[in-house]
Amino acid sequence: MLRSIISCLWAFLFLAAVANAQFQFFEQMFGGGQQHPGQRQGSQNVPSDSSRYQQMWAQAHCSNYLCPGTLACVSVPHHCPCAHPDVEEKVELGEGSAICVSKGGFKAGEASRKIELARKGLL
C-alpha cells in the first residue's frame, strides 16, 4: 500500500513538473512575461528615436560616400555592404545601384536569380 502511494506521489510530481515547464514555454512564446512600463531590461527595448544613430553619423569621418544603413565609408554608393550579411544578399541592379534583400532558398545567389526573373516579367 505504501509503495502504491509513493508511486502515485512520484507520478503526480512528474506531471506537475511537465505542466509547469509547458506553461513557462507558452508564457515565453506569447509574451506573458512582459515588462511593466518604466522597467528596463538591458538593451532589449530601446527608445524609438534616432538620436543614437544621428550621434554615430556625426562622429563618422568619410571623405568619399558614407553608407546610410551601415555607416561604412566606400568609394561609390553601390559598394555599400548589407547591414545584416548573414541573412541578406546584396544584388546590384545596374547603373550603379544595389539593394540588400533577404536570402532566398538554400543556394547562393537564389535571391538575385529571383530578382532577375522578376525584372524580366517571368516571376
- The domain containing residue 67 runs over which residues? 55-119
Please indicate, yes or no, if residue 50 is contained in any of the structural domains.
no
Please indicate, yes or no, if residue 70 is contained in any of the structural domains.
yes
List helix spans (H) across the chain.
Answer: 2-29, 51-59, 110-119
Domain count, the chain: 1
Is the pTM higher than 0.75? no
Contact 69, 50 (CB under 8 A): no
Please indicate, yes or no, if residue 111 is contained in any of the structural domains.
yes
Please indicate, yes or no, if residue 92 is contained in any of the structural domains.
yes
What DSSP line would sit under 37-66, residue for residue?
TT---TTSS--S-SHHHHHHHHH---SSEE
The pLDDT score that the predictor gives to residue 44 is: 73
- How open is the CA angle 36-40-43, to the nearest 5 degrees? 135
For 30, 35, 39, 45, 51, the CA distances from 42, given in Å and listed in that order, are: 20, 12, 10, 8, 18
Per-10-residue mean pLDDT of the chain, 123 residues long, equals 63 52 52 52 71 90 93 93 90 84 78 85 84
User: For the chain, how many residues are written?
Assistant: 123
